[in-house]
Amino acid sequence: MFNDKTAFITGGAQRIGAHIALNLAKAGYNIILHYHHSSKEAHNLKDTIKSYNRSCFIYSADLSDETSTLSMIEALKNKFSTIDLIINNAATYHPDSLIDLDDHEFSLQMHTNFKAPMLISKHFKSDDNPNHIINMLDKKITTIDQKRFSYWMSKKSLEQFTYYAACMLAPHTRVNAIAPGLMMQPVNQTYSEDTLEEKRNKTPLQRLGNPDDIVNGILALESLTFTTGQVLFIDGGMHLIN
């Protein structure tokens, strides 16, 4: 089972990122785990990953801040000769619209959700051994999200960057993306059982997703070594209907 590959997950201390990190460790990857505020969770996860006989290196950086992002990139490049798999997972998800747009909020979401993944991709391009970058998007990229303008713009930008980078970083680096539907309720928001039922009924596959679906998508993309520039929707078919 041990494959001795190294995977780097941003925003990996909690929720979907933590689930990815744990399951990639179970699948045999050594883990580099980035976090921002979730220090306690990152340290706990490191202990769990080490109990699977995998190594885990944790690093904190504010991805909305370019200096902090570039320092992290430099530190990782000095420590690791190769990173086989990079999951650009960290994101902020705040409501806003063009009408009441706040410059600071727009920059914060564009930096965290788009510019940091772009810089990470640029600096971890491989010139010899194959490696693979997966950008976490959102099924909302197929429509317009009027209530989350900055978030939506950042994910649309990351989608277009995925296509660009797939060409630009080839032949040694593959760049793909996963566009999830609802997997976990947003932080600080709880949907009622009626709302969840409504969302389930609206979904062509008649169920909501869960983080295992994301892990399955990552492992599938890892095995598809002739695939680059692909956006894999993991949303039960929701991108087809709204």
Ligand X SMILES: NC(=O)c1ccc[n+]([C@@H]2O[C@H](COP(=O)([O-])OP(=O)(O)OC[C@H]3O[C@@H](n4cnc5c(N)ncnc54)[C@H](OP(=O)(O)O)[C@@H]3O)[C@@H](O)[C@H]2O)c1
Helix (H, G, I), strand (E, B), or coil: what is residue 180? strand
For ligand X, give the closer residue by CB, 38 or 162: 38
How many residues line the site for ligand X (CB under 6 A)? 26
13 binds ligand X (CB under 6 A): yes
Which one of 184, 196, 220, 224 is in contact with ligand X (CB under 6 A)? Answer: 184
136 binds ligand X (CB under 6 A): yes
65: its two tokens = 């801040």
Listed residue (110, 122, 18, 21) closest to 70, CA to CA: 122
For residues 182, 24, 228 and 72, what is the CA-based torsion angle, rounded to 10 degrees?
Answer: 90
For ligand X, give the closer residue by CB, 76 or 90: 90
Which one of 124, 165, 180, 221 is in contact with ligand X (CB under 6 A)? Answer: 180
- Rounded to a whole number of angstroms, the minimum distance from the CB of residue 226 to ligand X is 25
156 binds ligand X (CB under 6 A): no
User: What does the angle CA 201 – CA 182 – CA 120 come to, to the nearest 5 degrees?
Assistant: 160
Which one of 6, 92, 142, 176 is in contact with ligand X (CB under 6 A)? Answer: 92
236 binds ligand X (CB under 6 A): no
Instruction: Check if the beta carbon of residue 31 is closer than 8 Å to that of residue 21.
Output: yes
Listed residue (178, 1, 8) closest to 76, CA to CA: 8
3-state helix, strand, coil in the chain (%, to 5): 45, 15, 40
Q: How is residue 186 annotated by DSSP?
A: P
Instruction: Check if the beta carbon of residue 95 is closer than 8 Å to that of residue 85.
Output: no
Between 23 and 62, how does the x/- string for binding to ligand X read (CB under 6 A)? ------------xxxx-----------------------x
The C-alpha atoms of residue 120 and residue 116 are separated, in whole angstroms, by 6
Interaction residues for ligand X, span 193-212 (CB under 6 A): none
- Rounded to a whole number of angstroms, the minimum distance from the CB of residue 43 to ligand X is 11
63 binds ligand X (CB under 6 A): yes
17 binds ligand X (CB under 6 A): yes
Which one of 187, 189, 190, 193 is in contact with ligand X (CB under 6 A)? Answer: 187
List of residues contacting ligand X (CB under 6 A): 11, 13-17, 35-38, 62-64, 89-93, 112, 136, 138, 180, 182-184, 187
